[in-house]
Amino acid sequence: MKALLAICMMFCSALVWAMETPAAAPAAPEVSVTGKVLEARNVDSYTYLRLNTQSGELWAAVMKTSVRKGSDVTVENGVVMSNFASKAMKRTFPTIVFGTLGGAAANAPAGHGMGTAYPLLPTGKLETINDAPVARASGANARTVAEIVIGRAELKDKPVLLRGRVEKYNPGIMGKNWIHLRDGSGSAADETNDILVTSLIETRVGDVVTVKGTVRTDKDFGSGYAYKVLIEEATLE
């Protein structure tokens, strides 16, 4: 009898712990989620999707497009955001995945004023991709990747001109395209060989581009996406 009571107490304790412990987030940074569309809401530049996935219901957001309720979709190149406050939706999402719409749904016709689809591009681990030298940009405020990273304190909120190779590209995340540039300068050991650029320009992995933008420091987008230096509002030169 005592043994049975002890087993019962252990079971009840485990049940209470499971009920009171918050469920783990259904996604992780750079995830791909697949599910059936339970709800689709178009606002400004985004389409918000409530999906029924194998891990349960979750919200995702992609660049504005046409998605039918009941269709099966995959959101790729996902970036997970926690406690994201959407003014357009007038709500805060405990967890939401911002990404690009993959598969056949990516080619769905967009309505008036909607963004055009851009093909998904390969991404790779930054430690294993091309670090071949790229010729330095010429002109006022021209810098290398290493010069920007090392001199970020002096360059904060100042314009820079940078020429580099696109080593990673994630389009349509939070209304911007996220571009990692390298030019052969700096070192992976001290993280001075790579810099993030946010922009509305479209590009491809492997392209050599010259961008002009503003240096920002200590930027935290939440969910572990914090950068000691990046270039924002970049345009193509």
DSSP string, the chain: -HHHHHHHHHHHHHHHHHHHSPPPPS--SSEEEEEEEEEEEEETTEEEEEEEETTEEEEEEEES----TT-EEEEEEEEEEEEEEETTTTEEEEEEEEEEEEGGGGGPPP-TTPPPP--------GGGS-----PPP-STTEE-HHHHHHTHHHHTT-EEEEEEEEEEEEEEETTEEEEEEE-S-S-TTTT-S-EEEEES----TT-EEEEEEEEEEEEE-STT-EEEEEEEEEEE-
Rg for the chain, CA atoms, rounded? 22
Task: Name the residue among 222, 174, 169 with its Cα closest to residue 60.
Answer: 174
pLDDT of 50 over the 50 cut:
yes
Q: How confident is the model at residue 197 (pLDDT cuts 50, 70, 90)?
A: very high
Q: What is the pTM of this model?
A: 0.54
- Does residue 146 contact residue 188 with C-beta atoms inside 8 Å? no
- Does residue 79 contact residue 98 with C-beta atoms inside 8 Å? yes
Q: How confident is the model at residue 3 (pLDDT cuts 50, 70, 90)?
A: very low
| Average of per-residue pLDDT values in the chain | 77
Q: What local confidence, expressed as pLDDT, does residue 16 receive?
A: 31
Q: Which amino acid is at 178?
A: W
Q: How confident is the model at residue 40 (pLDDT cuts 50, 70, 90)?
A: very high
pLDDT of 196 over the 50 cut:
yes
pLDDT of 135 over the 90 cut:
yes
Pairing type for strands 176-182 and 159-173 reads antiparallel
Alpha helices in 118-207 (DSSP H): 145-150, 152-155
Q: What local confidence, expressed as pLDDT, does residue 223 receive?
A: 58
- Rounded mean pLDDT of 176-203? 91
Q: What domains, with CATH codes, occur in the chain?
A: 31-107 (2.40.50.140), 126-236 (2.40.50.140)
Q: How confident is the model at residue 208 (pLDDT cuts 50, 70, 90)?
A: very high
pLDDT of 11 over the 70 cut:
no
